[in-house]
Amino acid sequence: MKIYFKNAIFLLGVICLLLGLILYPEVSLKSAYNGLMAWFNVVLPSLFPFFIISELLIEIGFVNMLGNVLRPIIGPLFKVSGESAFPFAMSIISGYPVGAKITSSLREKKIISKTIGERTLSFSSTSGPLFMLGAVSIGILGNGKIAPLIMYPHYLGAITVGLAFNFYKSKEKPNHSNNKNNASIILYTLNKNYSIGSVLSKAMLKSINTILLVGGFIIFYSVLTELIFISDIFNKFLNYIPLSINIELLKGVIAGLLEVTTGIQRIASLNIELTYKLMIINFLIGWSGFSIHSQALSFISKTDMDSKLYIFSKLLHGIFASIYTGILYIFKYKEYIEPSFLPAPFYEYYFIGHWHIIFLNSLKIIILAIIYMIIVSVILTIVYKITE
Cα distances from 175 to residues 16, 68, 164, 282, in angstroms, run: 48, 12, 20, 35
Domain assignment present for residue 19? The answer is: no
C-alpha span between 380 and 91 (Å, rounded): 22
Domain assignment present for residue 16? The answer is: no
Domain assignment present for residue 18? The answer is: no
pLDDT of 177: 44
Domain assignment present for residue 165? The answer is: yes
Contact, 281 vs 127, CB < 8 A?
A: no
Domain assignment present for residue 7? The answer is: no
C-alpha span between 95 and 89 (Å, rounded): 10
pLDDT of 324: 95
What residue ranges of the chain have pLDDT lower than 70? 1-2, 6, 61, 63-68, 134, 139, 170-196, 232, 235, 238-239, 241-244, 335-358, 362, 365, 369, 373, 376-378, 380-381, 383-388
pLDDT of 311: 94
In which domain, by residue range, is 264 found? 26-387
Count of structural domains within the chain? 1
Domain assignment present for residue 311? The answer is: yes
Domain assignment present for residue 356? The answer is: yes
pLDDT of 156: 94
pLDDT of 321: 95
C-alpha span between 234 and 220 (Å, rounded): 19
Contact, 31 vs 222, CB < 8 A?
A: yes
C-alpha span between 232 and 227 (Å, rounded): 10
pLDDT of 346: 47
pLDDT of 118: 92
Domain assignment present for residue 5? The answer is: no
pLDDT of 350: 46
Contact, 68 vs 179, CB < 8 A?
A: yes
pLDDT of 335: 66
Q: What pTM did the predictor assign?
A: 0.77
